[in-house]
Structure 1
């Protein structure tokens, strides 16, 4: 049975992404076999909050299961207002990190490393954010866009997620008066001990600033779509958020270490 192709929008790198029936077709790259091995492993150990890999189609595109629902950012971000839903996202991330702990990457694995990792503790997602969280009515929540997965650490991945899901933003439309409280809810639900909480705080600003630096460097080389995002002011937004986070490190420490 033939299915029409339905272009899928959303996110910053969605060119060429289409839905075909109950599948998603995306341009493949040298990293695709490693990413598919990762996704297959996650499902084999019971982590279902990710698409399942189905191979490569006759046009050379990767095939993934279609996950029904909509991304949270920006129109459905209010779904994360209740503390229990924010905590649910943090537990999803913890479940992923635990599930990937025993993943043995293929010996010839090639990863799409956009930003140099802080370590190779695990294979991290590197883009755990509201724009990659799919929610549906009566369907499990899931993370999409695994193309940037690669070596990293739990805390590096978590620091990026904190920025987006709290959010820790300098923008007046997104800045939260309860950011410290939401940070505590998120980290409590993930389950960090005191040592890891202290290590996380300086990473919040560093990880956010790394996005500014990445966009700046890619724009200087004219690389798409990053040059467009830089021209649209995304770099300034990441830099402002990093400044906002770093100026309040004492506040984050107090929130995370309060008895």
Structure 2
């Protein structure tokens, strides 16, 4: 679907903050961003979410005359890094976990288009849903009244609930080796997230070792793309993002027993 090119002649406001997507602008109440082969499938997914009653995601409006995808603008502020304190209270962390659960429930019966093309960055373990694949603080927007929404859906792709949850836990608990972000009550916060999401015992046992694998997969992806000279991953690797993911993976792997105890404690 084509949309009229900026009918109100509103000024384009560049949107910054991401590490990957360049050329993203706001025009009035819409966001315009470069489209790719995956855009039709992502738009089908976002349309399904809205039809299923999930409102914490942008609604696709089509393609503009410059070939950019057009999405509704989600008002508010991205919480990473300056507003992370908004999800530090456990009740707020639980809200994030419930939001992830609502997303996964809403997408459960989505049937992708027969010609769907997805932008697969890190191959997932399992493929029971079309997962967001980047559920992280840099993609969580908090609006007035503490309304939450999720942005940056361009890397949505087949995956599993647990794969998505493991990634989200690393970012929102957080499980981090960095002294500025390392949480002294990380195990308790992990339990809060798992409880609020509603993981059963089987899922909790599977999640404990997956936390480290999911984190290390990001390091391995950056290393491989950097070795191939692929941007923007080479720049991110040179900036130390690979070291950060590796450090977090080691931190998580060394404490796997601790995470399992927290997840399975009565």
Paired position in structure 2 for 1:253: 260
What value does the CA root-mean-square deviation take over the aligned residues?
0.7
- Secondary structure of the equivalent of 1:253? helix
Paired position in structure 2 for 1:70: 77
Query: Aligned pair count?
Result: 259
- Out of 125, 138, 148, which is 2:145 matched to? 138
Matched, 1:211 2:218: yes
Paired position in structure 2 for 1:189: 196
Paired position in structure 1 for 2:55: 48
Contact 1:8 1:14 in 2 (8 A): no
1:124-177 deviation per Cα after TM superposition (whole angstroms, max 9, x unaligned) = 000000000000112621000000001000000000000000000000111111
Give the TM-score of the pair, scaled to structure 2.
0.96
- Residues 85 and 139 of structure 1, relative CA distance in 2, 3 Å threshold: closer
Which 5+ residue runs of structure 2 have no aligned equivalent?
1-7
Paired position in structure 1 for 2:156: 149
Give the TM-score of the pair, scaled to structure 1.
0.99
Equivalence map 1:1-259=2 (5 Å): 1-138=8-145, 140-259=147-266
d(CA) in 2 for partners of 1:136, 1:88: 14
d(CA) in 2 for partners of 1:196, 1:222: 37
d(CA) in 2 for partners of 1:201, 1:11: 29
Runs of 4+ off more than 2 Å: none
Q: Deviation at 1:108?
A: 0.2
